[in-house]
Amino acid sequence: MKTESIYVNKKSGIPLYGIDYMGVIDRGTNVIELKPLTLCNLKCKYCFVSAGDYNNNFIVDPSYLIEKVDAIIENKGRYNIEIHLAPYGEILLYPKLIELIENLWKIEGIETITMQSNGMLLNKGIIKELEEVGLTRINISLNSLNEEKASYLCDSYFNIDALLKNIKTLLNSKINVLIAPVWFPGENDDDIEEIIKFIIDLRDQGYSEKKIQIGIQKYLIYKTGRKLKKIRPKSWDFFYKQLSRLEKRYKIKLKLGPRDFNIHKRKNIASLDVKKNEFIKLTIISKGRWKNEFIGKIDDDFGVKVLVNEPSINSENFIGKKINARIIKANYKNNILTAVFPI
């Protein structure tokens, strides 16, 4: 099947609110999440969004993102806003990253800019550029210090030595670092402890608790994501008990909550009053990431992910159509909608 890169700008007419994998996500706090692209350089076996494998990829124009973020901040309050760059993919593949960060800082109210990365594309030059443009923190997903294990989990070559050197360069820059391993019970238990010791060692070397943080993530399985064979996720209760055990053993704080990141509730701006099983009128404006996925446009701001369950429908005969779709998922907190067609 032909794959395509879809460039999303104002002229494209594709809305930036409401789609989970692209654009702007407002979760009703002081943190606004941006998803500027869907490309990834890895194909992690556990990727909950199946990145690196999409039929169509999306790249969003930075000025379009800026316009929509500014509109949200205007209503949310121009103070203490964090922008978190967290694509379904790898942020360092975004060609306009520096320009985007530079222009985000021009928006009144933004005080923190953070981003998520797998770290593989870091190098001294990029770190310098990110430091100069004022990135506050980088969250790096590192699941093991063992190259073979890390490569197995990412289904790609994961150069640990290079990453550790780059982490050192980051630590000696103005950028803070958060190491965010995913804990796969029975798969990387020892590796998690190795990473904890690595953090403790860095703190012993004089790097502060703010400079180098650790945020262990629970392995979650999603229907549309890739799954690690034989690994069964444990309950949240089990996860927190294990974290408490490790906190005691290593005398380090591992259970982090919104307060640790200065996250607090704020007005949810991009809000639509739509409920599950309701019908919604929309225009199909674009293909989605997969063959059976499209983007429906409600208005200039809001889009809906539309799943199509009719094999005769394709982009040639569907894009531009006005349809009535049925909402099958309405995540009010995040204002993310999924609809199905035919109903």
Which residues in this chain contact ligand SF4 in the complex, by CB under 6 A?
A: 40, 42-44, 47, 51-52, 89-90, 118, 154
Is there a cis peptide before residue 342, judged by omega within 30 degrees of 0? yes
Distances (CA, A) of 152 to 139, 221, 224: 21, 18, 21
Q: Which is nearer to ligand SF4, 40 or 202 (CB)?
A: 40
Determine contact, residues 308/318, Cβ cutoff 8 Å: yes
Q: Which is nearer to ligand SF4, 117 or 286 (CB)?
A: 117
DSSP string across 108-174: TTEEEEEEEE-STT--HHHHHHHHHTT--EEEE----SSHHHHHHHHTS---HHHHHHHHHHHHTSS
Q: Which is nearer to ligand SF4, 30 or 117 (CB)?
A: 117
Using only C-alpha atoms, what is the Rg of the chain? 20
**Least distance to ligand SF4 from the beta carbon of 182, Å?**
8
Contacts 24+ apart (CB under 8 A), 67-71: 67/10, 68/16, 68/17, 68/23, 68/24, 68/301, 69/24, 69/32, 69/34, 69/104, 69/107, 70/107, 71/269
Q: Which is nearer to ligand SF4, 47 or 330 (CB)?
A: 47
**Least distance to ligand SF4 from the beta carbon of 49, Å?**
6
**Least distance to ligand SF4 from the beta carbon of 5, Å?**
16
**Least distance to ligand SF4 from the beta carbon of 265, Å?**
28
Residues 6 or more apart in contact with residue 121 via CB below 8 angstroms: 41, 90, 92, 93
Q: Which is nearer to ligand SF4, 126 or 343 (CB)?
A: 126
**Least distance to ligand SF4 from the beta carbon of 40, Å?**
3
Q: Which is nearer to ligand SF4, 43 or 326 (CB)?
A: 43
Q: Exposure of 230 by Cβ count < 10 A (0-12 exposed, 13-18 middle, 19+ buried)?
A: exposed
**Least distance to ligand SF4 from the beta carbon of 338, Å?**
20
Q: Which is nearer to ligand SF4, 44 or 228 (CB)?
A: 44
**Least distance to ligand SF4 from the beta carbon of 158, Å?**
10
Q: Which is nearer to ligand SF4, 50 or 268 (CB)?
A: 50
Q: Are strands 56-60 and 23-26 parallel, antiparallel or unpaired?
A: unpaired
Q: What are phi and psi of 177, to 5 degrees?
A: -125, 135
**Least distance to ligand SF4 from the beta carbon of 273, Å?**
32
Residues 6 or more apart in contact with residue 139 via CB below 8 angstroms: 114, 115, 116, 117, 178, 179, 180, 215
